[in-house]
């Protein structure tokens, strides 16, 4: 590295040495998780304060980078792969996923067109067909039929793409054409994900065109009668309903919207139906957990996140459409510099037309690795173990008179709270309980509001979580409840 005009590229042999070292590092990190706090206790700015003011003028040794991983990065993280991480929804990963990603990074392929990465494109098509089989999705979503699947970075992107395709279809091409006075409307339930509102904003529909439909008090699922009323009123007022987003497994409580009744309405009015199963979709690898997707044969598009619960590292959202031609019409723009014989032949898929960005990486590789490593039975065993642990946890909560479960738990999320006669006092007690529980770093849970009231969420999702971890979480919850009831300060 003496000649400063020559970049100090890492040689293949150096890469091999340091690569092996870092694979060891990741394996050691995973093994070390039970000994770590789930979240750091440091205040904001603690990590940044440990970093130098600028990058080095000449390259650092690799050893000092690895040191920093140990002393700055790992201690400064919330450990999503920790066996006692029960917050939000999981974002689990696995050895095969990480190794698939490593290969994708090494290949460094940019698969915007079939021609820029034939295997990148074709493996993605095949893997999403496999996945459709594994989840028993409707035939029309397969590439051999009229539809097909594509990997998006996240469910939020899938929802945006569905919104754009729906608007394209509803407007015959240009929903923002000058001079049209039509107003387009988008529907989801009050429990629908925030990404639906964001997509409506980005698509130019704005908050004014978004309709949040009331949910059933008991199940927290969208009320089809209210959806029908709202659509009829909008149509009467001259609006054009373009999209309904139904959710299978809402973020707050995993409520399941009634697809058959919703689809009856969307078909009657010719509205695009997108089904968002970001978290719960993974459960459908198990036949006994497919109740939520009854009626999906009437949907125009569907998505779920293998990066939440299917052992495939972030980011990986699987998105299917029933009519790929409609999607491509909505998103395709073909400049001269991307023209090529394969595209012109119409014999290939160019996934750039199925997503917002142009460029794309080889995400299918990690999913392919995961499906091949675990097999269908392995994935089912994974999901079933979490569903069983969540049910065991729910039984513990139900057996304790101080607590109540506030929503159905068809998957591996249990939403519960301390009971209380005065609602505001109960909210304060539950918030204090969560703060105390999470403060010592032994476990990590998150919260939501259900019917306006504060509630705790425990989602089982780490492949390392065992019955002992769930039992420890319950012990910690009970002790925190004792402390809160005893009035000791948090
Ligand atoms: C998590 C979640 C999303 C957003 O997921 P991203 O992949 O992070 O965009 C959307 N919808 C539901 C129901 C979710 O639970």
The domain limits of the chain are: 109-361, 371-485
For the Cβ of 282 lying below 6 angstroms from any atom of ligand 1, the answer is no
Q: How far apart are CA 268 and CA 184, in angstroms?
A: 17
The pLDDT tens digits of the residues spanning 125-170 come to 999 999 999 999 999 999 999 999 999 999 999 999 999 999 999 9
Nearest to 165 by CA among 277, 319, 298: 319
Query: What's the average model confidence in pLDDT over 38-53?
Result: 95
Tell if the pTM clears 0.85, that is, is over it.
Answer: yes
Q: Which atom of ligand 1 is nearest to the CA of 156?
A: 9
Q: What pLDDT is stored for residue 336 in this prediction?
A: 84
Q: What pLDDT is stored for residue 490 in this prediction?
A: 46
Q: What pLDDT is stored for residue 342 in this prediction?
A: 84
The pLDDT tens digits of the residues spanning 453-478 come to 999 999 999 999 999 999 999 999 99
Q: What pLDDT is stored for residue 5 in this prediction?
A: 80
The pLDDT tens digits of the residues spanning 279-330 come to 999 999 999 999 999 999 999 999 999 999 999 999 999 999 999 999 999 9
Indicate which residue's Cα is closest to atom 12 of ligand 1: 278
Q: Which atom of ligand 1 is nearest to the CA of 305?
A: 7
For the Cβ of 191 lying below 6 angstroms from any atom of ligand 1, the answer is no
| Level-2 CATH architecture, domain 371-485 | Alpha-Beta Complex (3.90)
Q: Picking from 155-159, 176-180, 366-370, which range would have the lowest pLDDT averaged per residue?
A: 176-180
Q: How far apart are CA 85 and CA 473, in angstroms?
A: 10
The answer on pLDDT for 410 being more than 80 is yes
Mutate which of 188, 249, 251 for ligand 1 pocket (most atoms within 8 A of beta carbon): 251
The answer on pLDDT for 488 being more than 90 is no
For 320, which DSSP code?
Answer: E
Phi/psi zone of residue 36: left (φ > 0), alpha (ψ -120 to 50 degrees), beta? beta
In the sheet that holds 239-247, the strands lie side by side as 148-152, 317-321, 301-304, 272-276, 239-247, 183-189, 210-213
For the Cβ of 156 lying below 6 angstroms from any atom of ligand 1, the answer is yes
The pLDDT tens digits of the residues spanning 78-134 come to 999 999 999 999 999 999 999 999 999 999 999 999 999 999 999 999 999 999 999
Q: How far apart are CA 389 and CA 386, in angstroms?
A: 5
Domains 109-361 and 371-485 share a fold: no
Q: How far apart are CA 148 and CA 348, in angstroms?
A: 12
Contacts of 371 (CB under 8 A, 6+ apart): 127, 130, 131, 134, 379
Sign of the torsion angle spanned by Cα atoms 238, 239, 241, 245: negative
The answer on pLDDT for 1 being more than 60 is no
Q: In this prediction, what percent of the chain has a pLDDT beyond 70? A: 97
CATH topology of domain 109-361: 3.40.640
For the Cβ of 189 lying below 6 angstroms from any atom of ligand 1, the answer is no
Query: What's the average model confidence in pLDDT over 449-453?
Result: 96
Query: What's the average model confidence in pLDDT over 256-273?
Result: 98
For the Cβ of 427 lying below 6 angstroms from any atom of ligand 1, the answer is no
Strands (E), 153-235: 183-189, 210-213
For the Cβ of 154 lying below 6 angstroms from any atom of ligand 1, the answer is yes
Pairing of strands 446-450, 413-418: unpaired
CB 221 within 8 A of CB 215: yes
3-state helix, strand, coil in the chain (%, to 5): 50, 15, 40
Q: Which atom of ligand 1 is nearest to the CA of 317?
A: 7
Indicate which residue's Cα is closest to atom 8 of ligand 1: 154
- The mean pLDDT of the chain is 95
For 87, which DSSP code?
Answer: S
For the Cβ of 278 lying below 6 angstroms from any atom of ligand 1, the answer is yes
Query: Is the bond preceding residue 315 a cis peptide, omega within 30 degrees?
Result: yes
Q: Which atom of ligand 1 is nearest to the CA of 192?
A: 13
Contacts of 156 (CB under 8 A, 6+ apart): 193, 195, 198, 199
The answer on pLDDT for 189 being more than 60 is yes
Ligand 1 centroid to residue 352 C-alpha, Å: 22
Alpha helices in 332-485 (DSSP H): 341-345, 364-398, 423-439, 467-485
């Amino acid at each position: 590295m003496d000649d400063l005009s020559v970049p100090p590229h890492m040689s293949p042999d150096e890469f091999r040495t340091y690569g092996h070292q870092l694979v060891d590092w990741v394996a050691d990190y995973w093994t070390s998780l039970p000994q770590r706090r789930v979240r750091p206790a440091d205040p904001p700015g603690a990590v940044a304060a440990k970093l130098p003011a600028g990058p080095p003028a000449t390259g650092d040794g690799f050893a000092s980078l690895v040191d920093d991983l140990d002393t700055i990065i790992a201690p400064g993280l919330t450990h999503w792969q920790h066996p006692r991480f029960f917050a939000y929804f999981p974002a689990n990963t696995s050895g095969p996923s990480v190794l698939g990603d490593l290969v994708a990074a090494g290949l460094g392929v940019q698969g915007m067109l079939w021609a820029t990465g034939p295997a990148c494109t074709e493996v993605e098509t095949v893997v999403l067909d496999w996945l459709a089989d594994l989840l028993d999705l409707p035939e029309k979503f397969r590439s051999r039929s009229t539809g097909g699947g594509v990997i998006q970075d996240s469910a939020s992107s899938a929802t945006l793409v569905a919104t754009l395709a729906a608007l394209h279809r509803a407007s015959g091409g240009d929903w923002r054409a000058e001079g049209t006075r039509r107003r387009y409307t988008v529907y989801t339930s009050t429990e629908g994900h925030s990404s639906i509102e964001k997509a409506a904003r980005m698509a130019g529909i704005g908050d004014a065109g978004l309709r949040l439909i009331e949910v059933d008090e008991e199940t927290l699922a969208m009320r089809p009668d209210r959806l029908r009323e709202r659509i009829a009123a909008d149509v009467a007022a001259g609006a054009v309903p373009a999209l309904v987003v139904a959710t299978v497994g809402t973020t707050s409580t995993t409520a399941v919207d009634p697809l058959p009744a919703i689809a009856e309405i969307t078909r009657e009015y010719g509205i695009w139906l997108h089904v968002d199963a970001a978290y719960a979709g993974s459960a459908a690898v198990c036949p006994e957990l497919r109740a939520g997707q009854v009626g999906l044969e009437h949907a125009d598009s569907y998505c779920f996140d293998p990066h939440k619960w299917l052992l495939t590292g972030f980011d990986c959202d699987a998105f299917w459409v029933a009519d790929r031609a409609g999607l491509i019409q909505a998103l395709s723009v073909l400049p001269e510099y991307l023209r090529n014989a394969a595209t012109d032949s119409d014999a290939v898929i160019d996934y750039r037309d199925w997503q917002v960005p142009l460029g794309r990486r080889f995400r299918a590789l990690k999913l392919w690795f995961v499906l091949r490593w675990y097999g269908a039975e392995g994935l089912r065993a994974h999901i079933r173990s979490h569903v069983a642990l969540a049910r065991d946890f729910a039984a513990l909560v139900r057996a304790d008179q101080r607590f109540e479960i506030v929503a159905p738990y068809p998957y591996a999320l249990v939403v519960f709270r301390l009971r209380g006669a005065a609602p505001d006092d109960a909210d304060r007690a539950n918030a204090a309980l969560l703060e105390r529980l999470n403060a010592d770093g032994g476990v990590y849970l998150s919260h939501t509001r259900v019917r306006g009231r504060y509630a705790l969420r425990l989602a089982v999702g780490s492949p390392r979580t065992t019955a002992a971890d769930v039992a420890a979480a319950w012990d910690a919850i009970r002790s925190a409840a004792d402390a809160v009831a005893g009035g000791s300060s948090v």
